[in-house]
Copies of this chain bind each other. A is one copy, B any other.
Amino acid sequence: MNTENSLGVAVLGTGRMGADHVRRIERLISGAHVAAVADVDEVRAKEVAGTVGPHCAAHTDPAAAMDAPGVGAVLIASPGAAHEEQLLAALERDLPVLCEKPLTPDPQGALRVMAAEEALGHRRIQVGFMRRFDREYRELKGLLASGAHGRPLMLHCRHRNTVSHPLFTTEMLINDSVVHEMDAARWLLEQELTAVTVLRPTPSAAAPEGLGDPQLIIFETSGGALVDVEIFVNCGFGYQVQAEAVCEHGTARIGDAHGLLANTAGRWGGEIADDFTGRFADAYDHQVREWVDATRAGRVTGPSAWDGYAAAAGCAAGVAAQRSGQRTEVEMIERPAFYSPVSYVRTN
């Protein structure tokens, strides 16, 4: 272990997600350590810093955390509204960033972040679309990229949560949940989204008052594919994320049963995960693992600011479609050459 090479990370935001990233970096990720944390809640920041050790400083000012000694990279896990300012501050310092989704809550903010990154002259930002690091998604991506099944024509997605948070809103169905399918569809199909339609059945009686749950979201893409997403955040039975690609010569599905299969009391089957932590635990680990590796090698290989922008633009269209009941086109700038595609599939 060459300790001089260990990557010092400033973690901004020490809520559930941030604290989990601190634990991951400290306990699972060799070659990296948490050098500083920041949170508006000072007590919380100190508590999380305490799990790391005396060498990890706790700040309330994100800029101070980024300027702490030994910081070589930033992980942003603060609320979305704070992202733009923190991203710009990180770019100012030329620090590599892993930013939890959304890049910014709106396409405009994302464009400003992209402009700053482009002005810097090299890419620094990775967005936390962790499905790109999930084993099954990568298998599906690999199959599609191989061309063995021909061109993808449709993508059927299911995104089901057991129960929604009390403050969950209809817009959050798009911005917090379907945003994952927006990125996954773009990444799997290697196409941009061009239009979104939102179809709404009569809500489930199990949905909280005012929440239009479930919904069926349709994406159209630049390559003429159709994507349909069932989003159902109060399905009651568990957490389930599935995707089925329909190609010219075959289909492929991920997210079905895996693991232990039991017979008992007249039924066979298995357990469904309760939430995303079980389903995507390995994906989160791989995401940080690869980001640390790439960062130490001076590269950015994961989802870029462009991907964050595209998700923000897709969500803006999705919420508009939800409100108007109409098919809504996704408005995006042309892809800057600076953000030309790189291979996201792990090569080892």
List A residues at the B interface (Cβ < 8 Å).
Answer: 1-3, 6, 25-34, 53, 55, 135-136, 139-140, 143, 148-151, 153-154, 156, 162, 199-202, 204-206, 214, 216, 218, 223-226, 228, 230, 232, 235-238, 240, 246, 248-254, 256-272, 274, 282, 289, 293
Residues of B within 8 A of A201 (CB): 153-154, 224-226
Residues of B within 8 A of A261 (CB): 252-254, 256, 269
Q: Are the CB atoms of B149 and A262 closer together than 8 Å?
A: yes
Q: How far is the CA of A262 from the CA of B253 in the complex (A)?
A: 6
Our pick among B25, B154, B265 for the contact of A236 (Cβ within 8 Å) is B265
A260-B140 in contact given A28-B30, A237-B265, A270-B268 (Cβ < 8 Å): yes
Q: Are the CB atoms of B248 and A263 closer together than 8 Å?
A: no
Chain B proximity of A32: nearest CB distance (Å): 8
Our pick among B33, B260, B267 for the contact of A254 (Cβ within 8 Å) is B260
Q: Are the CB atoms of B206 and A260 closer together than 8 Å?
A: no
16 contacts between A and B (CB under 8 A): A1-B32, A1-B34, A149-B264, A150-B206, A151-B204, A153-B202, A202-B225, A206-B249, A216-B228, A237-B249, A237-B265, A249-B264, A251-B263, A251-B264, A253-B260, A267-B272
Our pick among B1, B136, B230, B272 for the contact of A154 (Cβ within 8 Å) is B230
Select from chain B the residue with minimum beta-carbon distance to A162: B266
Chain B proximity of A276: nearest CB distance (Å): 15
A226-B199 in contact given A258-B259, A261-B256 (Cβ < 8 Å): yes
Q: How far is the CA of A270 from the CA of B267 in the complex (A)?
A: 6
Could you say how many copies of this chain the assembly holds?
A: 4
Q: Are the CB atoms of A237 and B260 closer together than 8 Å?
A: no
Chain B proximity of A279: nearest CB distance (Å): 12
Q: How far is the CA of A261 from the CA of B245 in the complex (A)?
A: 10
Q: Are the CB atoms of A216 and B55 closer together than 8 Å?
A: no
Q: Are the CB atoms of A143 and B260 closer together than 8 Å?
A: yes
A252-B259 in contact given A150-B206, A154-B201, A269-B269 (Cβ < 8 Å): no
Residues of B within 8 A of A270 (CB): 267-269
Select from chain B the residue with minimum beta-carbon distance to A202: B224
Residues of B within 8 A of A53 (CB): 2
Q: How far is the CA of A251 from the CA of B226 in the complex (A)?
A: 23
Q: How far is the CA of A253 from the CA of B262 in the complex (A)?
A: 6
Residues of B within 8 A of A271 (CB): 266-268
- Pick the most buried of A136, A235, A240, A260: most chain B CB atoms within 10 A of its CB: A260
- Pick the most buried of A136, A225, A228, A262: most chain B CB atoms within 10 A of its CB: A262
Select from chain B the residue with minimum beta-carbon distance to A33: B1
Chain B proximity of A24: nearest CB distance (Å): 9
